[in-house]
Amino acid sequence: MKSISLYTDNRSWMTKLHPFTKLFYLVSAVLIPVISGHLMVYIMAAALSIILLMSARVFRKALPLIAFSFSILLTIFIIQGLFYKDNASVLFTLGPLTFYKEGLLYSSRIGLNILNMLLSFSILVLTTKPSELVEELEKKGFSPKLGYVINSVFQIVPEMMGTMETISDAQRSRGMETEGNLLTRTKAFLPLISPVVMSALTSTRERAIALEVRGFGGAVKKTYLYSHPYRTPDKIIKWVSILSLIAVIVWRIMSCHI
């Protein structure tokens, strides 16, 4: 049966880590650069996430997400480089367009922040089984409804991609052109929207019925077949993440009072 999550079970060391360990890393990797405000910290955080993705052998799976973000990043660089409110120092000109140092530095922070968040989330999504994360959250006392929401977020993108592929194959079998120039692809994309949305709504209703049949709303305490204890690598990454975040917060507070 084809998986409807982005999780890659390649038996790497990252897949064996506890889900909460990767959550601790995600929070610290996102917050530390924001709190510090230094461009170099953004670069270091993004580089660390890339190294971890490569060591877990899932970097290639993260590339489409990164490639998609570059269109957004390019737009940010152009707009802020030209029209940032504090622009003063001309960096270079490109025809009639003048780009300023202040705007490009500001857009670099925004762009690296977006890239860093995408890379950090990729580590969690690509190396964590959704059902395992949900189980661990429920063991800690979180509501099953929250677990269902998280599980749905993990599954919605690959599920909709699979639906789009199925519908595209059906349209090609009926003679519709789905490949070619941009105009052809746009014409082929528009008829996909309605069936994909309707399929998602139908799937949501069917899933809700299936959950109720299996006692999702029951008040009886659940038992779990598997346990995922904390190992030494989990403890090391967890405490390094927590202590690094605390250190940056303390440093930021002290630098503000100096």
Q: Which DSSP string do the residues of 7-45 spell out, in sequence order?
A: ------TTTTS-HHHHHHHHHHHHHHHHHH--HHHHHHH
Mean pLDDT for the stretch of residues 234-251: 92
Model confidence at 166, pLDDT cuts 50, 70, 90, reads confident
Instruction: Please tell me whether residues 12 and 112 are part of one structural domain.
Output: yes
Tokens standing for 59? 């970097």
Position 206, amino acid:
E
pLDDT greater at residue 227 or residue 41: 41
Mean pLDDT for the stretch of residues 79-100: 82
Instruction: Please tell me whether residues 158 and 180 are part of one structural domain.
Output: yes
- Is residue 121 assigned to a domain? yes
Q: How many CB atoms lie within 10 A of CB 14?
A: 23
99 forms beta bridges with 92
- Is residue 233 assigned to a domain? no
The fraction of the chain above a pLDDT of 90, given in percent, is: 18
Instruction: Please tell me whether residues 186 and 199 are part of one structural domain.
Output: yes
| pLDDT value of position 64 | 77
| pLDDT value of position 12 | 87
Q: Residue 84 has what DSSP assignment? A: -
90 forms beta bridges with 100
- Is residue 218 assigned to a domain? yes
Chain segment 197-214, per-residue pLDDT in tens: 677 667 666 666 766 666
- Is residue 200 assigned to a domain? yes
Mean pLDDT for the stretch of residues 216-240: 77
Instruction: Please tell me whether residues 100 and 174 are part of one structural domain.
Output: no
| pLDDT value of position 173 | 74
Residue closest to 221 by CA, chosen among 115, 107, 141, 125? 141
- Domain hosting 108: range is 1-128+239-258
Domain count, the chain: 2
Instruction: Please tell me whether residues 187 and 147 are part of one structural domain.
Output: yes
Model confidence at 95, pLDDT cuts 50, 70, 90, reads confident
Instruction: Please tell me whether residues 161 and 195 are part of one structural domain.
Output: yes
pLDDT of 188 > 70? The answer is no
94 forms beta bridges with 97
Residue closest to 122 by CA, chosen among 57, 37, 32? 57
Instruction: Please tell me whether residues 5 and 103 are part of one structural domain.
Output: yes
The fraction of the chain above a pLDDT of 70, given in percent, is: 69
Calpha distance 255→249 (Å, rounded):
10
- Is residue 76 assigned to a domain? yes
Model confidence at 2, pLDDT cuts 50, 70, 90, reads very low
Mean pLDDT for the stretch of residues 86-90: 82
pLDDT of 3 > 50? The answer is no
Calpha distance 157→203 (Å, rounded):
13
Instruction: Please tell me whether residues 154 and 135 are part of one structural domain.
Output: yes
Instruction: Please tell me whether residues 205 and 143 are part of one structural domain.
Output: yes
Instruction: Please tell me whether residues 147 and 60 are part of one structural domain.
Output: no
Chain segment 96-109, per-residue pLDDT in tens: 888 888 888 888 88
Instruction: Please tell me whether residues 121 and 23 are part of one structural domain.
Output: yes
Instruction: Please tell me whether residues 13 and 123 are part of one structural domain.
Output: yes
Residues whose CB is less than 8 angstroms from the CB of residue 243 and which lie 6 or more positions away in sequence, other chains included: none
| pLDDT value of position 230 | 83
Mean pLDDT for the stretch of residues 122-150: 78
